[in-house]
Amino acid sequence: MSAQRIRFLVLDCDGVLTDSKITYTEDGREIKSFNIKDGHGIKLLMRAGIGVAVITGRFSKALEHRAKDLLIEHVIQGAKDKRAALLDFSQKVGVEPSEMAYMGDDVVDLPAMALCAMSIAPGDAVEMVKERSDVITSLAGGHGAVREAAEIILKHLGLFDSVMERYVG
């Protein structure tokens, strides 16, 4: 792990921000559940000046709504090649992958994860992803893993105490 400076955390959606389940209503609408603690972890990163982006292979209106609620500006959906999507995103925002952390849970995330300074897997990621990750959270995707990752990043960068100052004085 060469994470001297992390300017962005890039997240997969299904299995990272969610618990991998997709529920369909009778009329075919998709329902996803997001963890409120993960959302607060994202806010903590943003307060520390660390951007957050989502790169996902699927399309989801629920993700669009959640990203809007959290003020996540960069949401890339339908990315079948996440490595290419990450490189395009990197160029767009002017931040090298070597200044990014990437959190993914399945093999489709590995090519993008390999480019980043820090690779993070939720505790319930597939084994191959966990084997190739710098950090494995104790929590599962959709159950606080993103919050845990956010705190790990903030501590790694020496920013945790200053971000927590507003809560604990």
Encode pLDDT of 121-137 as tens digits: 999 999 999 999 999 99
User: d(Cα 5, Cα 144) in Å, to the nearest integer?
Assistant: 23
CATH number of the domain encompassing residue 31: 3.40.50.1000
Determine the pLDDT at residue 3. Answer: 55
Residue type, 159: L
Q: Is residue 144 scored above 90 in pLDDT?
A: yes
How confident is the model over 83-104, as pLDDT tens digits?
999 999 999 999 999 999 999 9
How confident is the model over 12-40, as pLDDT tens digits?
999 999 999 999 999 999 999 999 999 99
Please report, in angstroms and rounded to a whole number, the separation of the first and last CA atoms in the chain: 32
Would you say residue 31 lies in a domain?
Answer: yes
The sign one gets for the Cα dihedral 43, 44, 48, 52 is: negative
Determine the pLDDT at residue 111. Answer: 98
pLDDT level of residue 5 (50, 70, 90 thresholds): confident
Query: Quick one: DSSP state of residue 21?
Result: -
Q: Work out the mean pLDDT of the chain and round it to a whole number.
A: 95
Domain that holds residue 80: 8-159
Would you say residue 145 lies in a domain?
Answer: yes
Sequence length of the chain is: 169
Number of domains in the chain: 1
User: d(Cα 110, Cα 108) in Å, to the nearest integer?
Assistant: 6
Q: Is residue 2 scored above 90 in pLDDT?
A: no
Would you say residue 166 lies in a domain?
Answer: no
pLDDT level of residue 157 (50, 70, 90 thresholds): very high
Would you say residue 75 lies in a domain?
Answer: yes
Tell me how crowded residue 135 is: count the other CB atoms within 10 A of its CB. Answer: 18
Would you say residue 2 lies in a domain?
Answer: no
8 Å CB contact between 88 and 115? no
Name the pTM for this structure. 0.95
How confident is the model over 31-66, as pLDDT tens digits?
999 999 999 999 999 999 999 999 999 999 999 999
User: How much of the chain exceeds pLDDT 70, in percent?
Assistant: 98
Tell me how crowded residue 9 is: count the other CB atoms within 10 A of its CB. Answer: 25
Nearby residues of 36 by Cβ (< 8 Å), 6 or more positions away: none
Of residues 166 and 112, the one with the higher pLDDT is 112
Q: Nearest Cα to 156, choosing from 133, 134, 139, 128?
A: 134
